Amino acid sequence: MTGKIILIVSLVLGSLTLIYLIVGLIIAKRILKPAKRSEEIIFQEEANNQRIPEAVLLAPHQRVGIKARNGYGLSARIYLAPQASDRWIVALHGYNNRSLTMAKYALIFNKLGYNVLAPDMRRSGQSGGNTVTFGYFERRDTEDWIEYLYKTYGNIVFGLFGISLGAATAILVASIRNDAKFIISYCSFSSFKDIIIARGPDYFRGIMLLYPAIIAGAYILSRALLSTIDIADAASAIDCPMLIMHSKKDAFTPYAHSLKIAKAAPRAKLYLFEEGAHARAYSISPEEYEKVVTDFITSSDK
């Protein structure tokens, strides 16, 4: 009788564990495999919602491609400065977006004499990759692009600029390299766990109970260890000048995330915009945004 009870209990526990893992896998799939958005949708969003002039969105650029060390193809836009320059900025867009969203920022950097390489991140735009990994593999892809710039253009100087997921990726890259001249982060999350805490209730109110299952599901889907993605910790290892920006009215990624990053990197400059939703400060206050970025880069160039 005791043996039968043990068997029943084991079967029940095994079934509950399996259900737990399956639910985590389902949530992980929703997070890591969003439906890719088309160029047309992004263009209309930039032009209509963010009021970016079509002339900026249609600015001349080159398309280049490389093969990532992980085996898939990567695509990027290159916006060249008016005058020949060996200075570059690698500009990284946000979650489930495309390199087109970097056109407005490229305009700022080009004025300052910087060429801009704006990749389509993995599972975005014209780049491959089956999953978004919150910086885990995006970091490697960005390093592949940096090596492409060195091989193609020789003795370059480069800075990193990122929005949201792109900002988190830029911080991860700068934390393991010593050749970045500067880094500009706008509306980054402070860790994968922190963004799940912030955004998790969109999926399920008790989502942190499922966090271990989501981590396991994410690994099954992508082989990425998302529990290791700690942007604040990575920021503490950065030696180059760093500008951390966020909007106080960001309801998607609360600005407390950037406060946490800034606390881990006390030498960084922190700037908080009073207005603007997530990744919208430029569309609300373009002059203010450009001035903050320009002042930072100008001071970093000295």
SS3 90: strand
Tokens for 222? 């992508």
CATH of the domain at 61: 3.40.50.1820
Instruction: Tell me the average pLDDT of the chain.
Output: 95
CA distances from 178 to 80, 173, 182 (A): 24, 9, 10
- Give percent above pLDDT 90 in the chain: 90
3-state secondary structure 5-55: HHHHHHHHHHHHHHHHHHHHHHHHHHHHCCCCCCHHHHHHHHHHHCCCCHH
- Domain encompassing residue 53: 33-191+229-301
| Secondary structure element (H or E) that encloses residue 113, with its range | none
pTM value? 0.95
Q: How confident is the model at residue 1 (pLDDT cuts 50, 70, 90)?
A: low
Under a CB-based contact definition with an 8 Å cutoff, are residues 124 and 96 in contact? yes
Residue 147 to residue 172: CA distance in whole angstroms: 16
* Identity of residue 38: S
**Residues recorded for the chain:** 302
Domain-located, residue 2: no
Quote the number of domains for the chain.
1
Per residue in 27-62, pLDDT (tens digit) is 999 999 999 999 999 999 999 999 999 999 999 999
Q: How confident is the model at residue 301 (pLDDT cuts 50, 70, 90)?
A: confident
DSSP state of 230: B
Per residue in 154-184, pLDDT (tens digit) is 999 999 999 999 999 999 999 999 999 999 9
Per residue in 63-80, pLDDT (tens digit) is 999 999 999 999 999 999
Smallest Cα–Cα separation from 129: which of 96, 169, 168?
96
Domain-located, residue 64: yes
Per residue in 253-267, pLDDT (tens digit) is 999 999 999 999 999
Which of the pair, 123 or 8, is modelled with greater confidence? 123
Smallest Cα–Cα separation from 297: which of 243, 256, 226?
243
CA distances from 240 to 36, 168, 184, 273 (A): 34, 16, 11, 23
CA distances from 234 to 41, 62, 255 (A): 33, 32, 18
Domain-located, residue 196: no
Domain-located, residue 175: yes
Q: How confident is the model at residue 4 (pLDDT cuts 50, 70, 90)?
A: confident
How far apart are the two ends of the chain, measured CA to CA in Å?
Answer: 81
